[in-house]
Amino acid sequence: MLAIFLDIETTGLDPQVHRTIDLAFKIVDFNSYEIIESYQSVVKQPYDEWQNHDPVSLQINGYTWDIVSLGKDPRVVSQEIIDIFNKYKIIRGNSVFICQNPAFDRVFLTQLIPIPKQEELRWPYHWLDLASMYWALLLEQCNKKNKPFPSNMTLSKNEIAERFGIPPESSPHRAMNGVDHLMTCYEKVLNVKFDR
């Protein structure tokens, strides 16, 4: 089984208005826990699309027009991703995506590779999230210790990290930093170690 740990930075939160500007992933072979591939790219956007950005999102990821204007054409990024997935025979049944926020990352990935193309390539449609994994672990621990489940809890990646003594994701956010931080959190939550 292969897992694609993926993170995306965007110009905002609304996929109808905002655009993917930074995408990164690492592919892990879960038989050996070896990282078999890494990919990151800044994605160039037309200036008129850039002007629709949300200032708060750009404060978080630190991207500027000067950086994004030098990125790769979205069609190039799309083909590079497809080529890598083809190389490792990424298809449903042998692979899954793992993200912090799959609903967000999945919809912004479709800007680069539309759903019909993903279906044609038989890409995985299972998108797993760290928060649900942590939720299940905490529920199991509470049940084993006969303790009540917390009545209030937030499930951000940084807050999960803090519970395991992991520093927060570095700022400004970059997609590859997000992938690395996600994988570090995953290792602690699931008690595994990747061969880095």
Query: Above 90 in pLDDT, residue 153?
Result: no
For the stretch 50-85, pLDDT in tens is: 999 999 999 999 999 999 999 999 999 999 999 999
Domains annotated for the chain, with CATH where assigned, are: 2-190 (3.30.420.10)
Q: Over the stretch 92-119, which tens digit does the pLDDT of each residue have?
A: 999 999 999 999 999 999 999 999 999 9
- Kindly report, residue by residue over 156-177, the tens digit of the pLDDT: 999 999 999 999 999 999 999 9
Question: What is the rounded average pLDDT for all residues in the chain?
Answer: 95
Contact 176, 24 (CB under 8 A): yes
- In the numeric block, which tokens belong to residue 81? 């991703």
28-58: pLDDT as tens digits: 999 999 999 999 999 999 999 999 999 999 9
Of residues 153 and 188, the one with the higher pLDDT is 188
Q: Are 182 and 170 in contact (CB under 8 A)?
A: no
C-alpha to C-alpha distance for 129 and 131, rounded to whole angstroms: 6
**Beta pairing class for 20-29 and 2-10:** antiparallel
Res 196 pLDDT > 80: no
- Beta-carbon contacts of 30 under 8 Å, excluding residues fewer than 6 positions away, are 1, 2, 3
